[in-house]
Chains A and B, each alone.
Chain A
Amino acid sequence: MSDSKKQRHHPITRRTFLKAATAAGLSAAACKNSGSHTRDWNPLASQARVTILHASSYAKNLSDLLRQGVKNHPLDVHGKRVVLKPNLVEYHTAHRINTNPLLVAAAVDCFRSLGAREVIIADGPGHQRDTEMLLEVSGLGDVVRGERTRFVDLNTDSIHRVPTATNFTTLQELWLPETILNADLVVSMPKMKTHHWAGATLSLKNLFGVIPSVRYGWPKNVLHWHGINQSIVDIATTVRPGFTIIDGIEGMEGNGPLHGETVNSQVIVMSQNLTAADATAARLMGLDPQRITHLNMMRSLGEPLAEQRIVQTGERLADYRREFRLISEFAHLRG
């Protein structure tokens, strides 16, 4: 059976699964075997499809480009509530840290044109409590107004307890925002960056932003104490985002995710499988995905990391691969 058929015939939608998990929260959490990593996690596919798109700048018609890219994937958003989760972290005059707002605007337009019932932009910045300031200075506020959509601060949304699908941390449960739980499709929209604690921050690490700071703090320090890599995996398997659009038009190398230098890598990476997308993005950055701890943990769950398990469409990876500069602590990630 093809990947697409597997997904189309999946009997339980993401939202139904999470609603059920929320309702069953306490008893399920209490019954879990903390020694197992995989209680509720079923990998989506033995192979995954990843698309690499060329975009020389943010000035191009990105909406059309994204629509072309999405057509490579069996993604049906008709009538669905789509939540776009960009990487909105901090503002610095000297560094391009956040997912570019023009790409977020293009994604809003793209999913609307494909029939989505509602497209919401949402994030829970990990350091900055002043979301109003962050929206304005980053330019995302203009997108929210221009696209007549809404932004939800996931840090202060209503929250519900959900048992974790895997047990790489000992948390056993996560509090998740209602906006995420009620989404039919969560789209992770990270910026392609190196990361000084995790090696690289891509669509999986970007999901830290769905964790509500009202419960976990600014920064979300509970996750750090439970292990950053372990937390990335438990969040990803529990939240189950259905698509990713990685902003690699401008990436960041060196001391990312905040203080690195801009790389004009001129790519967008898309996939329904976030692990496969991150593995591909890592290769584009000149990194060996198997040496990135959280990606390797995903591999242990059966997720596709090896090139043989990724059906790659669009541009040729080799044409866009470049070696992102690494801090010495992560020199071993070089592929």
Chain B
Amino acid sequence: MSNLNSPSNGHLNGPLNDSLTRALNFLAARQQADGGWGYAAGTQSFPEPTCYALLALADASDKELRETRALAWFTKHLTPSGALALEGDPNGFDNWGTILAFFTLRRLNLGADLSERCLRYVLRARGNLLDAETSKTLKLDGSLRTWSWAMGTASWVEPTAYALIALKAHGLRADERVKEGEAFLFDRVCYDGGWNYGNKEVLGVRLEAMPTVTAYALLALQDCNHGHEVIRKSLAYLESELAERQSSLTLALGALCFDLYRRPTDRLLAGLLARQEEDGGWRGNAHLTALAALALKMAAEKKNVFKV
């Protein structure tokens, strides 16, 4: 196997470096003719796998050609408004894809004009206002308008977490949108800690948290007081959940999250290595493989892509 994508300054033991190299080679081979990445082999390119694959491959030796091709993909899908749109859907703004694109382009110092347009869109985009009755029914503050997955819908935890990470990484911690986003996450936290998609209670039933969403929300609140009850309970929830059951996604996100909260990550990384497949990927999925590679890079190079 070619080792073109060996980590430049890896200093962990052999299995980790070997695993990372294989993961990066998997991702490099999966870039499509249009410059983007799809989730599964041969499927349409989407912003999420494209962004995380690019971030994972940031230090690879052949990055310039790859990034040039990826920039062409972003350029093709960016509308005049600054939002990414799906193939053939120039009016269908892709809110969460635009947030991820902004984060990625800024992290990699690519396409200054593109990322500036994305930033302006991200700062304009707001989820719908929830009426008083809905807010009361769901026991939440419907006046907080943060970020939705798609235009014309409500604000949700995961796209809000993406936006907070991206804006904070860009130095906008004090922006009022960021403050509102933090307030939103504190409002939507589940009663026993952790977050789900965004409803803590429906018709009197307390809903359970989800580990992946909790990891993203904690990444978004990494610069808040770690002793805050919400953060303590949510970390405890995530630790407990990961001790009970794991998946490739929870292991990768859990490791990236715990690293920023100074929690041990060895067990999670070992679990991740054990799930890597022969072809170097995780479940043949570029999104999962890119997040796994980012977790391995965090361990190998002491560089966490989500650190703000």
List residues of A whose CB falls within 8 A of some B CB.
Answer: 92, 127-130, 132-133, 136-137, 153, 156-159, 161, 175, 178, 196, 213-219, 221-222, 224-225, 255, 259, 327, 329
Closest Cβ of chain A to B292, distance in Å, is: 12
Residues of B within 8 A of A255 (CB): 203, 205
Given contacts A132-B248, A218-B158, contact A158 B153 (CB under 8 A): no
- Rounded to whole angstroms, the CA-CA distance of A255 and B202 in the bound complex is 10
Tell whether, in the assembled complex, residue A130 and residue B154 are in contact, meaning their CB atoms are under 8 Å apart: no
Q: Does B221 contact A (CB under 8 A)?
A: no
Tell whether, in the assembled complex, residue A133 and residue B250 are in contact, meaning their CB atoms are under 8 Å apart: yes
Q: Does B86 contact A (CB under 8 A)?
A: yes
Residues of B within 8 A of A329 (CB): 203
Besides A157-B39, A215-B94, A329-B203, 5 new A-B residue pairs in contact (Cβ under 8 A), listed by A number? A127-B210, A130-B212, A130-B247, A217-B156, A217-B159
Residues of A within 8 A of B248 (CB): 132
- Rounded to whole angstroms, the CA-CA distance of A148 and B190 in the bound complex is 38
Contact of A222 among B88, B96, B152 (CB under 8 A): B152
Residues of B within 8 A of A175 (CB): 86, 89
Q: Which 6 A-B pairs have the closest CB atoms?
A: A217-B149, A158-B44, A133-B247, A156-B39, A221-B153, A132-B247
Given contacts A132-B283, A133-B249, A136-B247, contact A161 B89 (CB under 8 A): yes
Q: Does B191 contact A (CB under 8 A)?
A: no
Residues of A within 8 A of B283 (CB): 132
- Rounded to whole angstroms, the CA-CA distance of A127 and B213 in the bound complex is 10
Q: Does B92 contact A (CB under 8 A)?
A: yes
Closest Cβ of chain B to A221, distance in Å, is: 4
Tell whether, in the assembled complex, residue A259 and residue B205 are in contact, meaning their CB atoms are under 8 Å apart: yes
Contact of B43 among A156, A216, A327 (CB under 8 A): A156
Given contacts A130-B212, A130-B247, A132-B249, contact A156 B46 (CB under 8 A): yes
Contact of A218 among B44, B128, B149 (CB under 8 A): B149
Residues of B within 8 A of A161 (CB): 88-89
List residues of B whose CB falls within 8 A of some A CB.
Answer: 38-40, 43-44, 46, 48, 86, 88-89, 92, 94, 96, 128, 148-150, 152-154, 156, 158-159, 196-197, 202-203, 205, 208, 210-213, 245, 247-250, 283, 287-288
Given contacts A156-B39, A214-B46, contact A129 B208 (CB under 8 A): no
Tell whether, in the assembled complex, residue A219 and residue B203 are in contact, meaning their CB atoms are under 8 Å apart: no
| Residue of B with least CB distance to A152 | B40
- Rounded to whole angstroms, the CA-CA distance of A153 and B48 in the bound complex is 15
Residues of A within 8 A of B128 (CB): 225
Tell whether, in the assembled complex, residue B86 and residue A215 are in contact, meaning their CB atoms are under 8 Å apart: yes
A-B contact pairs, 29 of them (CB 8 A): A129-B213, A129-B249, A130-B210, A130-B211, A130-B247, A130-B249, A132-B249, A133-B249, A136-B245, A136-B247, A156-B39, A156-B43, A156-B287, A157-B44, A158-B44, A159-B86, A161-B89, A175-B86, A213-B149, A217-B148, A217-B149, A217-B153, A219-B156, A222-B152, A222-B153, A225-B152, A255-B205, A327-B203, A329-B203
- Rounded to whole angstroms, the CA-CA distance of A127 and B211 in the bound complex is 12
Tell whether, in the assembled complex, residue A221 and residue B148 are in contact, meaning their CB atoms are under 8 Å apart: yes
Residues of B within 8 A of A216 (CB): 149-150
Contact of B212 among A92, A129, A196 (CB under 8 A): A129
Residues of B within 8 A of A213 (CB): 149
Given contacts A158-B38, A159-B86, A214-B46, contact A219 B197 (CB under 8 A): yes
- Rounded to whole angstroms, the CA-CA distance of A7 and B205 in the bound complex is 45
Tell whether, in the assembled complex, residue A127 and residue B197 are in contact, meaning their CB atoms are under 8 Å apart: yes
Residues of A within 8 A of B156 (CB): 217-219, 221
Residues of B within 8 A of A215 (CB): 86, 92, 94, 150
| Residue of A with least CB distance to B39 | A156
- Rounded to whole angstroms, the CA-CA distance of A213 and B40 in the bound complex is 15
- Rounded to whole angstroms, the CA-CA distance of A130 and B210 in the bound complex is 9
Closest Cβ of chain A to B146, distance in Å, is: 13
- Rounded to whole angstroms, the CA-CA distance of A225 and B153 in the bound complex is 7
- Rounded to whole angstroms, the CA-CA distance of A161 and B88 in the bound complex is 8
Residues of A within 8 A of B213 (CB): 129
Closest Cβ of chain A to B59, distance in Å, is: 27
Given contacts A156-B43, A214-B46, A327-B203, contact A222 B150 (CB under 8 A): yes
- Rounded to whole angstroms, the CA-CA distance of A190 and B88 in the bound complex is 32
- Rounded to whole angstroms, the CA-CA distance of A214 and B86 in the bound complex is 10
- Rounded to whole angstroms, the CA-CA distance of A132 and B202 in the bound complex is 26
- Rounded to whole angstroms, the CA-CA distance of A121 and B40 in the bound complex is 16
- Rounded to whole angstroms, the CA-CA distance of A127 and B198 in the bound complex is 10
- Rounded to whole angstroms, the CA-CA distance of A157 and B41 in the bound complex is 10
- Rounded to whole angstroms, the CA-CA distance of A255 and B206 in the bound complex is 12
Contact of B197 among A196, A218, A327 (CB under 8 A): A218
Residues of A within 8 A of B247 (CB): 130, 132-133, 136
- Rounded to whole angstroms, the CA-CA distance of A327 and B288 in the bound complex is 40
- Rounded to whole angstroms, the CA-CA distance of A175 and B159 in the bound complex is 20
Tell whether, in the assembled complex, residue B249 and residue A217 are in contact, meaning their CB atoms are under 8 Å apart: no
- Rounded to whole angstroms, the CA-CA distance of A329 and B196 in the bound complex is 25
| Residue of A with least CB distance to B203 | A196
Residues of A within 8 A of B94 (CB): 215
- Rounded to whole angstroms, the CA-CA distance of A183 and B82 in the bound complex is 36
Tell whether, in the assembled complex, residue A157 and residue B150 are in contact, meaning their CB atoms are under 8 Å apart: no
